[in-house]
């Protein structure tokens, strides 16, 4: 550890090399494990160049990804923005896998590399390993080999069936990615080793199975009995497990025209969508956790005299630009910054545990003044997602600090109304509204398969349960319906009903 | 201890394949865009990188999106200064406010990205139906030839310049006084001679000791100073020098009377661009001279040539005379390779066509490397005429020239794909680049 006489600094210049990186890593690890009590996957740190970072961006942050034009489009977009200086590149990128892979940019200074190691390799890593959503919904051990399988599989399909045929299916599947996740049901686990075998078996099996949808026998003549029709419909819904929220799953299992390999493509897209679903639900917590961890570790290293003042200033500069929150009327404003909110909440919890005010004691009787901030944080990171975390831990002090206020925007009015502000009467209202805005399942469009007309024209009936009367944007809605039709093979109709009352609002269909 | 991996050595351009797929997808739109660019750009600028806007169609990825300005929403925003509950804020015109629901609505309206020269040319060649080999050779950049250019301290071992290296090493050996082998040998012999003496006096013994010490010193010194040191080594340095090429001048002649419309001019422009691309590959410096004519001809700049209309009759010979005048004035045929391309709809004053033919045969064709004439006609006419000899008076007159001179080419075009045949002969003579 000790390099030049008397100096305990981990590094004393902005250049990094693998030796200083691993020294810094060891010092950070000691603090993270012993003092903060974090529990992490083994780490794998990879040094990449800026071009490779752009590549990683455009393949949604996955080290392996199948080929598709939309990633090319994203690459062109990112590269352009980067070249013109509209946006910089992230300092790091971290992948939820076991071992946890962190990308470090080669352009970073040694101080930045230290900061990033603490942020990603310990903060994010701990969160991935311990948060209940990730534990339940993603399989960190299997994702990399699954991605490898999917990349190979899709490349093979392209060779066998032509690029455009594969692209057509993938385009349609991408359009339904938001509607391709299970929100309430545990998905079956991937076991990557058996994946290839399973694919082959499924192909054989699919070709032999009998699907009730293909029933073409004429029915007994005479007027259909309404009761019998009712019974039939019930029966059918039971067989098909309707209503079904996961459109991709439904199409994969029940579509009438897809070849086995096409079903496998839908499955791949679905698995990837499912894998990213927890990340969308824990943006604030995940970044908050990582930012809080790096901030704590940096300060501890500085107190131990392992970081020079210059390096500390550099870190603080980038830290404060990451957690900067512009006001709503600032031209730089683009919504609440998850880093800022998350970091502020973590720090606030620490404050409430150690130096509570009387207000905090009223609001958080369980943790105020307990002094157990470490345990409280670790428990929160493990058992919450953004919505529940904010609902439980957003304190009045923070609402005042951010000067939060709530706007009500009703389509029928020409104005927005300020519903509540950061005062006694507004705290709990604002807390509820903010938590709701982070509820992913409440904010994504709820579209479900409700029925299939098996005996008539085999039309697929979808239902859009509208929340607060929010409609769908029509051009993209129709284009997406066309994609569903492409996968289903017959007509598709969509009916919008009011989420609360169930009253029909609109209906549209593809021919 | 974490596992460090250095990924920087991995192959680059992981996204290149995806980029190509994206371009393929947006091909139609990009093609249209490049076509418009060719109309407006200067001929010489066609084959460069172009910034193009993000294609809207063919590259859209629809999903179910909430419609703006419908339903009731709640926003929680930071930074309240003086609002009180119950205050009303007028909505901005044009949809809902930008709340926390700002999704992927990134501003792609004025978004531009760069197409490389190759990609641009690929799109430009699309309708011209060029053979693949021609496409490849047109996309090729200028040929280079390595040329000796002094010495360098680094290089590949094959390029070591021995004499220069040894000269440096010699100078260094003198400066650092590296003992020569001869002196060492002489000393050694002296020592040996002394050592084999049976009886040595004290002084002689001391002298022997001194000699031994001296020999030892010299040997160490010799070991310390290498015979050839890395600092002596010099490599031959090479510069990539573009192949020396003669100059070319390209005459663009066009009829600009009102009968030449938008479509005709566009076709003519592509024809000129193609010739220019071909010349660019072969010559270092290309001058382009634009001559437009109605019933009188004049040299103009490129913009005027393509975009301003003149009214008046059509006397083609004036353009040829103007060209002849310019050649005599500025481009002596000894120093310049002269190429000419003429586009017209075939209208001409009666009796002038024969004059054109005689001008060509007597004067111009001797000066020109190549003369291409295209007559731009309607699609309907092209079916009628085909390749028959009857046609406009100018066409008939030029047929006589065509028979006489091998470097004269003429054709009728109605579609972009008809352009290439004019150049077929030109490209067929693939000139092998000679190293001079």
Query: pLDDT tens, B337-367?
Result: 788 888 888 777 778 888 888 888 888 888 8
**Long-range CB contact pairs, B416-419, < 8 A, 24+:** B416/B127, B416/B128, B416/B267, B416/B270, B417/B127, B417/B128, B417/B129, B418/B382, B419/B128, B419/B267, B419/B270, B419/B271, B419/B274, B419/B374
Q: Are B349 and B390 in contact (CB under 8 A)?
A: no
Least confident of A22-31, A249-258, A383-392, B51-60: B51-60
What is the C-alpha separation between B215 and A422, in angstroms, rounded? 94
Contact B120, B113 (CB under 8 A): no
Chain B, nearest residue to A431 by Cα:
B76
Tens of pLDDT, residue by residue over A205-219, are 665 565 555 555 555
A507: how many CB neighbours lie within 10 A of its CB? 13
Q: Is A474 on the interface with B (CB under 8 A)?
A: yes
Helix (H, G, I), strand (E, B) or coil at B317: helix
| d(C-alpha B183, C-alpha B215), whole Å | 9
Q: What span, in angstroms and rounded, lies between the C-alpha atoms of A99 and A240?
A: 39
Reduce the DSSP state of residue A505 to 3 states and report it.
strand
Ranking A299-308, A317-326, A382-391, B7-16 by mean pLDDT, the lowest is B7-16
Residues A293, A287: Cα–Cα separation, whole Å: 10
Q: Which of B246, B242, B244 is nearest to B146 (CA)?
A: B242
To which residue do tokens 């353009």 refer? B319
Q: Say which DSSP state B66 is in.
A: B
Residue-level pLDDT at A204? 63
* pLDDT-above-70 percentage for chain B: 83
CB-based contact B50:B115 (threshold 8 Å): yes
Closest CA to B320 of B349, B345, B341, B303: B341
Q: Dmax over Cα atoms in chain A, in whole Å?
A: 101
Q: Flag the least confident range among B86-100, B134-148, B268-282.
A: B86-100
Burial class (CB in 10 A: 0-12, 13-18, 19+), B350: exposed
DSSP B249-273: EEEEEEE-STT--HHHHHHHHHHHH
pLDDT confidence of residue B96: 42
Q: What is the pTM of this model?
A: 0.71
Task: Give the integer Cα–Cα distance in Å for A111 and A170.
Answer: 42
d(CA A397, CA A361): 12
Give the residues across from A463 on adjacent strands.
Answer: A448, A495
- Are the Cβ atoms of B80 and A405 closer than 8 angstroms? yes
Least confident of A123-127, B33-37, B124-128: B124-128
Banded pLDDT at B403 (limits 50, 70, 90): confident
Cβ-in-10-Å burial (0-12, 13-18, 19+) of A34 comes to exposed
B360 neighbors B408 (Cβ within 8 angstroms): yes
Q: In this model, does residue A43 exceed pLDDT 70? A: yes
Predicted pLDDT at B436: 31
More confident residue, A144 or B261: A144
Q: Answer whether residue B168 shows pLDDT above 90.
A: yes
Question: Whole-angstrom Cα distance, residue B34 to residue B50?
Answer: 8
The interface residues of chain A toward chain B in range 357-396, judged by CB-CB distance below 8 A, are none
Does the pLDDT at position A115 exceed 60?
A: yes
Q: Report the alpha-carbon distance of residue A254 to residue A472 in Å, rounded.
A: 26
- Angstrom CA distances, B291 to A151, B104, B250, B267, B342, stand at 58, 52, 11, 17, 9
Q: 3-class DSSP state for residue A417?
A: strand
Asked if B262 reaches chain A (Cβ–Cβ under 8 Å), the answer is: no
Residue A307 CA neighbour count, 13 Å, CB half: 26
- pLDDT higher than 80, residue B425: no
Residue of B160, B186, B182, B172 whose CA lies nearest to B225: B172
Q: First and final CA of chain A: distance in angstroms? A: 72
So what's the pLDDT on residue A194? 62
For residue B334, the tally of other CB atoms under 10 A from its CB is: 5
What is the rounded distance in angstroms from the CA atom of residue B233 to the CA atom of residue B388? 72
Which of residues 477 through 506 in chain A touch B, CB cutoff 8 A?
477, 479-480, 483
The two three-digit tokens of residue A11, written as one number: 């590094």
Contact call for B71 and A467, based on CB within 8 A: yes
Contact B290, B255 (CB under 8 A): no
How confident is the prediction for chain B on average, in pLDDT? 79
Share of chain A above pLDDT 70, in %: 90
- In the sheet where B247-255 sits, what is the strand order? B297-300, B286-293, B247-255, B336-344, B370-376, B408-413
Asked if B73 reaches chain A (Cβ–Cβ under 8 Å), the answer is yes
Tokens of A233: 């419909």
Task: Answer whether residue B108 shows pLDDT above 50.
Answer: no
Q: Rounded to whole angstroms, what are the CA distances from A412 to A409, A497, B91, B272?
A: 9, 19, 11, 60
Most distant CA atoms of chain B, gap in Å:
126
The whole-angstrom separation of Cα A328 and Cα A335 is 8
| pLDDT, mean of residues B243-263 | 76
What pLDDT, on a 0 to 100 scale, did the predictor assign at position A60?
76
B96 touches chain A (CB under 8 A): yes
The rounded distance, in Å, linking the Cα atoms of B74 and A433 is 7
Name the more confident of B295 and A318.
A318
Confidence of residue B106 (pLDDT cuts 50, 70, 90): very low
Q: Is A288 helix (H, G, I), strand (E, B) or coil?
A: helix
Q: How far is B24 from chain A (nearest CA, A)?
A: 9
Q: A319-333, B151-165, B380-394: which range is least confident on average? A: B380-394
Mean pLDDT in chain A? 85
Q: Give pLDDT tens digits for B29-44.
A: 888 888 787 777 777 7
Tell the burial category of A290 from Cβ atoms under 10 Å away from its Cβ (0-12, 13-18, 19+): buried
Check whether B149 has a pLDDT greater than 60: yes
Task: Give how far B48 is from chain A: nearest CA, Å.
Answer: 18
- Whether residue B243 is predicted with pLDDT greater than 80 in this model: the reply is no
Pair of tokens at residue A370: 């307990």
CB contact set of A267 (below 8 Å; sequence gap of 6+): A252
Q: What tokens does B23 get?
A: 């371009």
Average pLDDT over residues A26-47: 92
C-alpha closest to that of B47 among B106, B135, B108: B135
**Structure tokens of B221?**
């010194």
> Is pLDDT of B95 > 60?
no
**Which residues of chain A does B58 touch, with a Cβ-Cβ cutoff of 8 Å?**
none
Tell whether B106 is within 8 A of chain A (Cβ): yes
Q: Write down the pLDDT at residue A50.
A: 84
Number of helices followed by number of strands (H, E) in chain A: 22, 9
Residue contact B72–A468, C-beta within 8 A = yes
At residue A4, the pLDDT reads: 46
| B82 → chain A, closest CA residue | A421
Residue A329: the pLDDT is 86
The backbone torsions φ and ψ at residue A416, rounded to the nearest 5 degrees and listed phi first, read -100, 145
Question: Closest Cα partner for A151 from A59, A213, A87?
Answer: A59
Predicted confidence at residue A127, as pLDDT, reads 94
Q: Which residues of B touch A498 (CB under 8 A)?
A: none
Closest-CA distance, A223 to chain B, in angstroms, reads 40
Q: Does B23 touch chain A (CB under 8 A)?
A: yes
The nearest alpha carbon in chain B to A402 belongs to: B78
pLDDT, position B135: 64
Residue entry with tokens 């044009």: B94
Nearest CB among B18, B96, B101 relative to A67 is that of B18
Find residues 69-98 of chain A whose CB sits inside 8 Å of chain B.
Answer: 69-73, 75-77, 79-80
Interface A-B: count of C-beta contacts within 8 A: 261
Check residue B318 and give its pLDDT. Answer: 87
Question: What are the respective helix, strand and coil percentages of chain A, to the nearest 5?
Answer: 55, 10, 35
- Beta carbons within 10 angstroms of residue B310's beta carbon: 15
CB contact under 8 Å between B1 and A433, yes or no, is no
DSSP B360: I
Tell me the mean pLDDT in the region A290-299: 94
In this prediction, residues A187-209 reach a mean pLDDT of 62
Q: Which residue has the higher pLDDT, A216 or B176?
A: B176
Question: Would the CB atoms of A480 and B97 count as touching at under 8 Å?
Answer: no
- Residue B221 is predicted with a pLDDT of 92
């Amino acid at each position: 550890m000790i390099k030049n006489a008397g100096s305990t600094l981990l590094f004393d210049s902005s250049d990094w090399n693998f030796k200083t990186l691993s020294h810094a890593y060891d010092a950070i690890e000691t603090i993270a494990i012993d003092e903060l009590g974090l529990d992490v996957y083994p780490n794998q740190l990879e040094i990449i160049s800026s071009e490779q970072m752009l590549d990683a961006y455009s393949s949604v942050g996955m080290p392996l990804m199948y080929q598709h034009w939309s990633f090319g489009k994203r690459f062109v977009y990112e590269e352009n923005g980067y070249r013109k200086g509209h946006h910089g590149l992230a300092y790091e990128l971290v992948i939820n896998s076991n071992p946890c892979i962190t990308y470090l940019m080669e352009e970073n200074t040694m101080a930045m590399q230290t900061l990033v190691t603490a942020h990603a390799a310990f903060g994010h890593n701990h969160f991935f390993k311990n948060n209940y959503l990730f534990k339940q919904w993603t399989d960190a051990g299997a994702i990399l080999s699954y991605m490898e399988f999917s990349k190979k599989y899709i490349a093979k399909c392209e060779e066998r069936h032509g690029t455009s045929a594969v692209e057509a299916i993938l385009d349609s599947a991408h359009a339904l990615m938001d509607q391709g996740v299970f929100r309430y049901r545990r998905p079956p686990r991937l076991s990557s080793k058996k994946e290839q075998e399973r694919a082959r078996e499924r192909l054989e099996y699919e070709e032999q199975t009998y699907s009730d949808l293909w029933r073409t026998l004429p029915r007994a003549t005479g007027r259909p009995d309404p009761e019998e029709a009712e019974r039939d419909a019930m029966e059918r819904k039971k067989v098909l497990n309707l209503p079904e929220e996961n459109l991709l799953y439904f199409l994969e299992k029940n579509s009438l025209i897809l070849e086995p390999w096409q079903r496998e493509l839908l499955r791949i897209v679905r698995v990837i969508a499912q894998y990213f679903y927890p990340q969308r639900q824990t943006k604030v917590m995940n970044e908050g956790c990582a930012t809080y961890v790096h901030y704590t570790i940096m300060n501890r290293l500085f107190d131990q005299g392992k970081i020079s003042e210059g390096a500390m200033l550099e870190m603080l500069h980038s830290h404060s630009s990451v957690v900067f929150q512009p006001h709503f009327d600032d031209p730089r404003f683009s919504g609440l910054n998850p880093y800022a909110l998350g970091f502020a909440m973590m720090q606030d919890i620490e404050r409430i545990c150690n130096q509570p005010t009387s207000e905090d004691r009223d609001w958080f009787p369980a943790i105020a003044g307990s002094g157990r901030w470490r345990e409280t944080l670790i428990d929160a990171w493990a058992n919450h997602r953004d919505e529940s975390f904010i609902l439980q831990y957003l304190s009045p002090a923070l609402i005042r600090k951010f000067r939060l206020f709530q706007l009500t925007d009703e389509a029928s009015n020409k104005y927005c109304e300020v519903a509540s502000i950061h005062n006694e009467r507004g705290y709990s209202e604002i807390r509820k509204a903010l938590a709701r805005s982070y509820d992913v399942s409440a904010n994504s469009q709820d579209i479900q398969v409700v029925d299939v007309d098996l005996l008539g024209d085999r039309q697929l009936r979808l239902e859009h349960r509208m929340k607060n009367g929010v409609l769908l944007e029509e051009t993209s809605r129709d284009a997406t319906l066309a994609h569903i039709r492409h996968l289903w093979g017959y007509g598709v109709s969509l009916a919008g009903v009011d989420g609360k009352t169930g009253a029909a609002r609109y209906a549209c269909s593809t021919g | 201890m974490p596992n460090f991996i250095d990924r920087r050595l991995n192959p680059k351009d992981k996204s290149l394949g995806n980029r190509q797929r994206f371009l393929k997808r947006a091909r139609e739109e990009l093609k249209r865009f490049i076509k418009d660019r060719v109309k407006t750009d200067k001929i010489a600028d066609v084959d460069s990188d172009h910034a193009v806007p993000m294609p809207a169609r063919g590259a859209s990825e629809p999903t179910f999106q909430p419609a703006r300005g419908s339903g009731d929403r709640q926003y929680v925003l930071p930074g309240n200064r003086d609002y009180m509950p119950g205050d009303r804020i007028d909505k901005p015109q044009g949809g809902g406010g930008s709340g926390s629901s700002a999704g992927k609505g990134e501003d792609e309206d004025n978004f531009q990205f760069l197409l490389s020269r190759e990609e641009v040319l690929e799109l430009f060649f699309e309708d011209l139906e060029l053979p693949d080999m021609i496409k490849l050779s047109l996309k090729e950049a200028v040929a280079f030839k390595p040329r000796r250019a002094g010495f360098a301290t680094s290089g590949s071992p094959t390029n070591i310049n021995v004499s220069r290296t040894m000269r440096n090493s010699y100078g260094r050996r003198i400066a650092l006084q590296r003992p020569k082998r001869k002196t060492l040998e002489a000393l050694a012999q002296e020592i040996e001679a002394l050592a084999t003496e049976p009886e040595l006096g004290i002084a002689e013994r001391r002298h022997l000791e001194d000699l031994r010490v001296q020999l030892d010193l010299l040997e160490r010194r010799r070991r310390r100073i290498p015979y050839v040191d890395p600092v002596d080594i010099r490599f031959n340095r090479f510069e990539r020098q573009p192949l020396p090429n003669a100059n070319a001048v390209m005459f663009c002649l066009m009829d600009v009377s009102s009968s030449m419309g938008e479509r005709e001019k566009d076709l003519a422009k592509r024809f000129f661009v193609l010739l220019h691309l071909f010349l660019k590959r072969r010559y270092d410096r290309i001058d382009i001279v634009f001559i437009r004519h109605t019933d009188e001809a004049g040299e103009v700049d490129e913009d005027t040539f393509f975009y301003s209309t003149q009214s008046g009759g059509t006397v083609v010979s004036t353009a040829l005379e103007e060209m002849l005048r310019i050649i005599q004035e500025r481009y002596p045929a000894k120093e310049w390779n002269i190429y000419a391309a003429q586009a017209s709809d075939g209208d001409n004053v009666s009796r002038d066509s024969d004059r054109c033919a005689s001008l060509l045969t007597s004067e111009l064709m001797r000066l020109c490397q190549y003369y291409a004439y295209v007559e731009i006609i309607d699609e309907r006419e092209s079916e009628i005429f085909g390749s028959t000899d009857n046609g406009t008076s100018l066409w008939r007159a030029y047929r006589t020239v065509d028979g006489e001179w091998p470097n004269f080419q003429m054709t009728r075009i109605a579609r972009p794909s008809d352009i290439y045949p004019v150049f077929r002969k030109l490209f067929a003579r693939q000139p092998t680049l000679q190293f001079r």
